Chain A
Amino acid sequence: MSCRGEFKTPGGKLIAVDFDVVDGELRNVVVTGDFFLYPEEALPILTGALEDSPITLDEAGYTARVRTALDSSAELVGSSPEALASAVIRALGACQEPEQSDGG
């Protein structure tokens, strides 16, 4: 299953998340958008916070993972851990079989 969700913070920026669902977990997480992240090199921290997360978490659960990972070392500007968590929840509600799926 391939999933994509987006969340635009009101008065702020768009954050989008793409991932696959494998064995009930988020895999191959990619985070994109026109948000700001300082330092920029912290992008793998954002994706790493979600990678291998169970699909059963709620929004607060994903928010906590992202917030804990960013800690004090990186800051989202124009977006937030809550916004990213919202994008994940939206993505989980919009998963599709990949076009080249063999049906398995």
Chain B
Amino acid sequence: MVAEISSLAPEELARWRALPWKLLPAVPRPPLLNMALDEVLVEHVGAGKRQPTLRIWGWSAPCVVLGRFQSVRNEVDEEGAARHGIEIVRRISGGGAMFIEPQGAITWSLYAPLSMVTGMTFAESYRFFDAWVVDALRELGIDAWYAPLNDITSAAGKIGGAAQARRGGAVLHHTTMAYDMNLPLMLEVLRTGQEKLSDKGVTSADKRVAPLRLQTNLPREAIIDHMVQQFRGRFGLEEDALDPDEIAEAEQRARERFAIAAWTHYLP
């Protein structure tokens, strides 16, 4: 165990503790619905319709999640993805592509009022939102740390990456960590390690990834439980559920916005 947890300054801790946090526990959902929920929930927090929320993601299918500004063909082998029934979706935030298998990833989102990060640079806010997870991992004996701009890393390699989007008065900060990785399958789907279309091509997924399963014997669920417990203990956290209106709105948006090629392939 790492004895001292000191990654948040007292003034930063106060910002976390000042908000009435809700927890949306993991429920397996289709990739497109996960994309849409992030947008709907950050909007609802911005509009004051939902309290600040921590959502633990569940995945019902494997997928590739592209960053907002990435080119599909530069990041994904679409034939390889189709061959394995892997959907390609695009999220609302920038950052790099991720290959997701339901039991291989730990993903969560925070939806908070923008006032929570008043006076912080973007870079500072990334560290601020990931600090509690770094602490939770360290409590589990994993020697993790935050690496600017948006990575959670370790001596063995990168564990995960974060991205943010802002919508009218609220900030979405979401992070995915690798728990387990099917490297051969990933190499058939992501262009990392493949010959690139561009001879100078570099993808964000090129960084060496060190999945948590290689760094701890704990099952995925135990890590998530510990993260939630850590959050609850430090900041307060009350269990919540999506209300039917939120689900309906996200389902509609998944169909009408996130599923269409004008979104997924707008940068082909």
Could you tell me which A residues sit within 8 Å of B by CB distance? 4-6, 8, 11-14, 16, 30-40, 43, 75, 77-78, 90, 94
Could you tell me which B residues sit within 8 Å of A by CB distance? 67-71, 74, 92-97, 122-123, 148-150, 163-166, 198, 200-204, 267
Cross-chain contact B166 with A35 (CB below 8 angstroms): no
Nearest residue (CB) in B for A40 is B68
Say which residue of B74, B92, B150 sits within 8 Å of A40 (CB atoms).
B92
Please judge, given known A-B contacts A31-B69, A32-B69, A77-B123, whether A40 and B94 are in contact too, CB under 8 Å: yes
Cross-chain contact B68 with A14 (CB below 8 angstroms): no
CB distance from A15 to the nearest CB of B (A): 8
CB distance from B122 to the nearest CB of A (A): 4
Determine the chain B residues whose CB is within 8 A of the CB of A37 once the complex forms: 68-69, 94
Cross-chain contact B95 with A6 (CB below 8 angstroms): no
Determine the chain A residues whose CB is within 8 A of the CB of B68 once the complex forms: 37, 40
State A33–B96 Cα separation when bound (angstroms): 8
Please judge, given known A-B contacts A30-B267, A40-B94, whether A6 and B165 are in contact too, CB under 8 Å: no
Cross-chain contact B149 with A6 (CB below 8 angstroms): no
State A70–B39 Cα separation when bound (angstroms): 24
State A43–B90 Cα separation when bound (angstroms): 15
Cross-chain contact B149 with A13 (CB below 8 angstroms): yes
State A31–B148 Cα separation when bound (angstroms): 23
State A14–B94 Cα separation when bound (angstroms): 11
Cross-chain contact B166 with A43 (CB below 8 angstroms): no
Additional A-B contacts beyond A13-B95, A30-B267 (13; CB < 8 A)? A6-B200, A8-B202, A16-B71, A16-B74, A32-B71, A32-B267, A34-B69, A35-B94, A36-B93, A36-B94, A36-B122, A40-B68, A94-B200
State A77–B150 Cα separation when bound (angstroms): 10
CB distance from B211 to the nearest CB of A (A): 20
State A52–B149 Cα separation when bound (angstroms): 33
Please judge, given known A-B contacts A11-B149, A16-B71, whether A36 and B164 are in contact too, CB under 8 Å: yes
Nearest residue (CB) in B for A8 is B202
CB distance from A98 to the nearest CB of B (A): 14
Say which residue of B94, B123, B200 sits within 8 Å of A34 (CB atoms).
B94
State A12–B165 Cα separation when bound (angstroms): 17
State A28–B267 Cα separation when bound (angstroms): 12
Determine the chain B residues whose CB is within 8 A of the CB of A34 once the complex forms: 67, 69-70, 94-97, 203-204
State A35–B97 Cα separation when bound (angstroms): 11
Cross-chain contact A6 with B267 (CB below 8 angstroms): no
Cross-chain contact B95 with A14 (CB below 8 angstroms): no
Say which residue of A4, A11, A14, A77 sits within 8 Å of B122 (CB atoms).
A77
CB distance from A9 to the nearest CB of B (A): 9
State A35–B149 Cα separation when bound (angstroms): 10
Say which residue of A6, A39, A78, A94 sits within 8 Å of B202 (CB atoms).
A6
State A4–B200 Cα separation when bound (angstroms): 10
Determine the chain A residues whose CB is within 8 A of the CB of B69 once the complex forms: 31-35, 37, 40, 43
CB distance from A34 to the nearest CB of B (A): 4
Please judge, given known A-B contacts A33-B69, A34-B69, A34-B70, whether A14 and B202 are in contact too, CB under 8 Å: yes
State A14–B148 Cα separation when bound (angstroms): 14
Determine the chain A residues whose CB is within 8 A of the CB of B93 once the complex forms: 36, 40
State A32–B198 Cα separation when bound (angstroms): 13
